[in-house]
Structure 1
Amino acid sequence: MKFGILEVKGNVDLMPSSHFPDNASLYRAIITEADEIHVQLDYHDVVVPPYSILYVSIETALALSKEHEGRFYFLYFTEVFYRRTSFDDDLLNSPETFNTPQGFNVVTIEEELREYYASQVHFLYDVFSHKNLVVFNDLIHGLIKQLLLLGSLMGKQEEKLAHHVDADHEVVRSFRGLVEENLAVEKSVAFYAERLAISPRRLSFACKTVLNTTPKQFISKCIVKEAKRRLLYTSDSVREIAWKLGYEEENNFSAFFMKETKLSPSTYRKAYHGRG
């Protein structure tokens, strides 16, 4: 589980992939106020206007342009941290937020909403900087939801911001969607390659290029991510979670979870709730 919001001032070299080794699982947003921000998305230059939110999908490489100067907030969170309900899932997968063919979306806030928008961002930053994140977990979730709703309700991809999406990113985005749809019944790389009408080798190349991981590792990460979400935010037993994720035997699921996280499912659940 991971969440954070950073205030970035001046000419700072922000490279999320270097700060966060598991960057492939992070949703990211750049939030501007009075300053215009210059960034690179998949090595293409993009300008983020004042009072805007840039939503960046998990597959897209993000960096500041060399000419960047200004102040903004950098929000990041994992799906495990945020997704609790089907409505949360809809917001993450909205084409007005993170789920665009371009791999990003820019939303500029209407003038009459800017004071409210800024207050939500500042409040979220204050909570992250000064509060117990476990105690304030629900409040943080609600504040992030407000920022996603702004994009979902107001978002419209501008033509001038669209850029060429290369074939590897298209493959990975399609692969990710298929995994989310079929995770409980299919865990074979060959199945997903066949559905994508490409070879397993082509799928492996795309995953390595875009995510720096293998298709099998990506599928495993998705299983762990969904397992963690269910352990944290549902009352399902470990046996029920195992069954819902396609494991007939609870022991097989527990062994897999232990291998990936170094904790048993029950220990992971108790450790988190014990912090509260």
Structure 2
Amino acid sequence: MPESLKKEIGQFNVFYIDYDNHDKGYCQSYRRRGFYKISLLEGETKLFYADKTMTFKRYALLFSNPNIPYSWELTGNNHTSFFCVFTEEFIRQFGMIKTYAVFKPGSYPLFELSEEQFRAFKDIFLAMQREIASDFLYKYDVLRTKVLDLIHAALRLQPVGKLPNKEANSALRITSLFTELLERQFPIESTLQQMELRRPAEFANHLSIHVNHLNHSLKEVTGRTTSQLIADRIIREARSLLQHTEWNIAEVAWCLGFEEASNFITFFKGREKLSPKSYRNSKIE
């Protein structure tokens, strides 16, 4: 199997669920951190997104990103769902997924559909299922275009309802700006590149708000503190650098804002239960 194809596996998948043949009721958000998700939903459903509730009667399209908590409750009968999941890296060569309004914090992620619109989106998901099951060497490029077809078609539609609460809107906006500031520092591609913003107070200063206000907003929208979100992103980059570069541990530590390699080693072991060196060796074997 070509290396390029190996890299794609695990970065994208597509599924179909008939809820009449599964447990129905309350659906938790997708738990694999780092994955974006697009769901085509059929059947009366109540969506809980951030701190708001939205409902639709028959058909809808839902966009969710790794930073915004959501869940839904199925009511009535005849519920089905197509959904695809993918990483930011999967789309990166075609564009930055975060720049699309449907995935931005503060946007309205639920689009109610007519029966005709539902059939059109269903056709895209069916095409995805056929493509991923094929042996075409460039099928993941085709699947990327299908994801973009879903996004662009949704951007032409009017989302369901709005989030009128000014305080909620403020929290979502702050979360969006914080996420952009954090992500703008990655990926790290050179040993000369170092994270400039690492502490909650530094982000708060850039956003011209009090650090407590920043923390409250992020906690409200994501359920996690500022420090947790920063640490999560640092550990993701650390894993990538250890796996995909030959930089020594001190170089990786410096790039991630640790002045002492020992502090980075302690941080990494606390999160991964392995030293950076052991983690790297486990990925080589």
CA deviation string 1:215-259 (max 9, x = no partner) = 111110111122223344x33424443333233444432332221
Which residue of structure 2 aligns with residue 83 of structure 1? 89
Which residue of structure 2 aligns with residue 64 of structure 1? 72
> Does residue 156 in structure 1 map to residue 155 in structure 2?
yes
The alpha carbon displacement at 1:269 in A equals: 3.6
State the alpha-carbon separation in 2 of the partners of residues 113 and 65 from structure 1: 22
> Does residue 98 in structure 1 map to residue 103 in structure 2?
yes
**Matched residue of 2:38: which SS?**
strand
> Does residue 237 in structure 1 map to residue 247 in structure 2?
yes
CA deviation string 1:41-87 (max 9, x = no partner) = 4232244975x75221233332224425421134445x5xx527853
Match of 1:119 among 124, 127, 141: 127
* TM score, norm. by length of structure 1: 0.70
Q: Contact 2:91–2:144 at 8 Å: present in 1 too?
A: no
Which residue of structure 1 aligns with residue 144 of structure 2? 145
**Matched residue of 1:161: which SS?**
coil
Q: Contact 1:105–1:157 at 8 Å: present in 2 too?
A: no
Larger Rg: 2
> Does residue 175 in structure 1 map to residue 178 in structure 2?
yes
**Matched residue of 1:228: which SS?**
helix
The alpha carbon displacement at 1:5 in A equals: 5.5
Match of 2:232 among 221, 224, 237: 221
> Does residue 247 in structure 1 map to residue 255 in structure 2?
no
User: Relative to structure 1, is the Cα distance of residues 229 and 242 closer, same or farther in structure 2, using a 3 angstrom cutoff?
Assistant: same
The alpha carbon displacement at 1:157 in A equals: 5.5
- Identical-pair percentage: 17
Which residue of structure 2 aligns with residue 44 of structure 1? 53
The alpha carbon displacement at 1:26 in A equals: 4.5
State the alpha-carbon separation in 2 of the partners of residues 48 and 237 from structure 1: 54
User: Relative to structure 1, is the Cα distance of residues 10 and 110 closer, same or farther in structure 2, using a 3 angstrom cutoff?
Assistant: closer
Can you give the 5+ residue segments of structure 1 that lack an aligned partner in the other structure? 128-137
**Matched residue of 1:246: which SS?**
coil
Most deviating of 172-181 and 53-62 = 53-62
User: Relative to structure 1, is the Cα distance of residues 84 and 148 closer, same or farther in structure 2, using a 3 angstrom cutoff?
Assistant: closer
Q: Contact 2:61–2:111 at 8 Å: present in 1 too?
A: yes
* TM score, norm. by length of structure 2: 0.68
Report matched runs for 1:198-217 at 5 Å.
198-217=209-228
Q: Contact 2:12–2:85 at 8 Å: present in 1 too?
A: yes
Q: Contact 1:238–1:265 at 8 Å: present in 2 too?
A: no
Opposite residue 177 of structure 1, the aligned amino acid is E
CA RMSD, 1 decimal: 4.0
State the alpha-carbon separation in 1 of the partners of residues 161 and 96 from structure 2: 21
State the alpha-carbon separation in 1 of the partners of residues 256 and 148 from structure 2: 29
The alpha carbon displacement at 1:110 in A equals: 9.4
**Matched residue of 2:45: which SS?**
strand
The alpha carbon displacement at 1:104 in A equals: 2.2
Opposite residue 72 of structure 2, the aligned amino acid is L
Which residue of structure 1 aligns with residue 3 of structure 2? none
Can you give the 5+ residue segments of structure 2 that lack an aligned partner in the other structure? 1-9, 187-194
Aligned length in residues? 253
Match of 1:258 among 258, 269, 274: 269
The alpha carbon displacement at 1:27 in A equals: 2.6
Q: Contact 1:257–1:263 at 8 Å: present in 2 too?
A: yes
Which residue of structure 2 aligns with residue 131 of structure 1? none
